[in-house]
Amino acid sequence: MKKLKITPEMFVSKPFIKCPKCGEDVYGRLMINRRSFVRRCNNCMHSESYKLPDIKKKIIYLDQMAISNMMKSIRTTDPKKQTQIQNEWKVMFEKLDRLVKLQLIICPYSQVHEHESIVTPVFKDLKQMYEHLGNGVVFYNIDTIIRYQFYEAFTKWLGVKVEPITIHNVVHGNLNGWQDTIRVSIEFSNDRTDYIQELKMTRDVSSLELAKVFNRWKTETQKTFMDWFNEEKNAYGPAYWQMYLKSVLGYSLSGISNLVFSEKDVLIIHLGGILRQSGKIKEEEVFTKLAEFFQSEQATQIPFVINYSMLAAGLANQAAHGGRTRLPNMGTSNDMAFISAFTPYCDVLFIDNAFKQNIKEGDKILKLGLSDKFYSANDFKGFFEYLDNIEASASKRHLNKVKEVYGEDYGQPYTTMYDK
């Protein structure tokens, strides 16, 4: 059996400088923390911690199409298979990877990436791509973000001051800290058959439901964008409340042994607790008060509801007035969900061409100021300019600190990620 000998030197990496204690040029980097890094000497074992300056990274969300195309662009080594569009995706990866390593941006991944990747035969390659650019920063699931937004709206509805939700409330991981060079990825189960089947079934059901609605929209030629927008906006809160009531009925029929709380259950229990603790209403009035909130104007104003209603109204407008006959595909529901949930917390999002156009048209009417947040493959040039400006705007002090901590060549893109 082959034995692996582990020595202290194995944990120390370049760049190496002169040790302040023994004078040898083997004083390397041992570890990187959020606001500091540690050097250790491979000769005398002297260790010392050094502070790092605060940083604020740009938050860039990449849709599944971008993840997939960047993966393909650097996995394909045959020049004959490299098309012009693949070259653009490769350039995009190189720019993003460099900026991540320069500690200037982070590209959080999400459960949407996992769900859309795990049903493909190249799941491991896709996962490697989105985890590499996300560097451990991941959005909470969308239902959790909706729950947070409803909680904030409910608190305001009661006239209580509340801190606004920020990106720090909706992601897990080291967002604005200096990143270590070691990343650990864990898979909990090799047999994902049941999980994949369940995902496919859920996706198919969502796709069919959206197709039914789309076909209905095609017949509603008398309606305008604002009609559909208000219809969606005003329906979400009551529908959310009704789904909660159905789940309560399900629990009562199936028994306590099958009790599994959803995000809706957690939210309603929490909001009910707030009402009870206030001492201002009787127990028998709690449900009535909660139902009143979900039908209120405040409930229609959460970012997810506004964004989702805009996207739905855009699709409806295309179906009824824009001559669109192509049904929404299986990824449409996912795209609508992540755009609606993550947009308030990102600096920019890279999405598909159709949704970028949808948002541009909706933004003209609603004046939400969202259009500039979105890029797509139709505007690689604009996106590349945006990325280039991030590095150009970085201070010399910051870039020198990156070289000090990580080394001169650390910003080189990892285009050999898939080399065997």
pLDDT digits (tens, 9 = 90+) for 6-58: 777 888 999 999 999 999 999 999 999 999 999 999 999 999 999 999 999 99
Note whether 386 and 348 are within 8 A (CB): yes
Query: Could you say which of 320, 345, 370 is where a domain stops?
Result: 345
Summarised one tens digit per residue, pLDDT across range 294-307 is 999 999 999 999 99
Q: Is 16 part of a structural domain of the chain? A: yes
pLDDT confidence tier of residue 328, bands split at 50, 70 and 90: confident
Q: What is the distance between the alpha carbons of residues 145 and 110, in angstroms, rounded to a whole number?
A: 12
Summarised one tens digit per residue, pLDDT across range 165-203 is 999 999 999 999 999 988 777 776 667 888 888 888 888
Sheet holding 374-375, edge to edge: 105-106, 58-62, 348-350, 374-375
Q: What is the distance between the alpha carbons of residues 8 and 45, in angstroms, rounded to a whole number?
A: 9
Q: What is the distance between the alpha carbons of residues 71 and 117, in angstroms, rounded to a whole number?
A: 12
- Region 215-236: mean pLDDT is 97
Q: At what angle do helices 111-118 and 332-342 cross, to 10 degrees?
A: 160
- What is the end-to-end Cα distance of the chain in Å, rounded? 24
> Do 220 and 200 share a domain, yes or no?
yes
Q: Is 152 part of a structural domain of the chain? A: no
> Do 209 and 313 share a domain, yes or no?
yes
Please tell me whether residue 343 adopts helix, strand or coil conformation.
helix
> Do 126 and 199 share a domain, yes or no?
no
pLDDT confidence tier of residue 4, bands split at 50, 70 and 90: low
By CB atoms closer than 10 A (0-12, 13-18, 19+), residue 368 is middle
Per the structure block, which two tokens stand in for 242? Answer: 């009704």
Q: Is 360 part of a structural domain of the chain? A: no
Q: What is the distance between the alpha carbons of residues 189 and 197, in angstroms, rounded to a whole number?
A: 15
Summarised one tens digit per residue, pLDDT across range 102-152 is 999 999 999 999 999 999 999 999 999 999 999 999 999 999 999 999 999
The pLDDT value recorded for residue 80 is 63
Model pTM score: 0.93
Task: State the pairing for strand pair 171-172/138-139.
Answer: antiparallel
Q: Is 209 part of a structural domain of the chain? A: yes
Please tell me whether residue 140 adopts helix, strand or coil conformation.
coil
The pLDDT value recorded for residue 260 is 59
Closest by alpha carbon to 318, among 361, 287, 285, 351? 361
Q: Is 370 part of a structural domain of the chain? A: no
> Do 208 and 247 share a domain, yes or no?
yes
Positive or negative, the Cα torsion across 171, 174, 178, 179? negative
Closest by alpha carbon to 202, among 315, 330, 337? 330
pLDDT confidence tier of residue 389, bands split at 50, 70 and 90: very high
Q: Is 146 part of a structural domain of the chain? A: no
> Do 240 and 305 share a domain, yes or no?
yes
The pLDDT value recorded for residue 141 is 96
Note whether 41 and 112 are within 8 A (CB): no
The pLDDT value recorded for residue 82 is 63
The pLDDT value recorded for residue 57 is 98
Q: How many domains does the chain have?
A: 3
The pLDDT value recorded for residue 278 is 84
Q: Is 150 part of a structural domain of the chain? A: no
Query: Could you say which of 345, 364, 394 is where a domain stops?
Result: 345
Q: What is the distance between the alpha carbons of residues 321 and 329, in angstroms, rounded to a whole number?
A: 20
Highest-confidence range of 64-68, 157-161, 195-199, by mean pLDDT?
64-68
Residue 381's region, left for phi above 0, alpha for psi from -120 to 50, else beta, is alpha
Q: Is 356 part of a structural domain of the chain? A: no
Residue 258 or residue 77, greater confidence:
77
Q: Indicate if the pLDDT at residue 257 is higher than 50.
A: no
Residue span of the structural domain in which 45 resides: 9-51
The pLDDT value recorded for residue 280 is 80
The pLDDT value recorded for residue 320 is 95
The pLDDT value recorded for residue 203 is 85
What contacts 317, CB < 8 A, 6 or more positions away? Answer: 224, 225, 228, 361
> Do 211 and 106 share a domain, yes or no?
no
> Do 96 and 67 share a domain, yes or no?
yes
> Do 200 and 236 share a domain, yes or no?
yes
> Do 14 and 75 share a domain, yes or no?
no
Q: Indicate if the pLDDT at residue 251 is higher than 60.
A: no
pLDDT confidence tier of residue 248, bands split at 50, 70 and 90: confident
> Do 36 and 66 share a domain, yes or no?
no
- Region 52-69: mean pLDDT is 98
> Do 313 and 199 share a domain, yes or no?
yes
Sheet holding 13-17, edge to edge: 13-17, 27-32, 36-41, 47-51
> Do 199 and 339 share a domain, yes or no?
yes
Q: Look over the chain and give the mean of its residue pLDDT values, rounded to a whole number.
A: 92
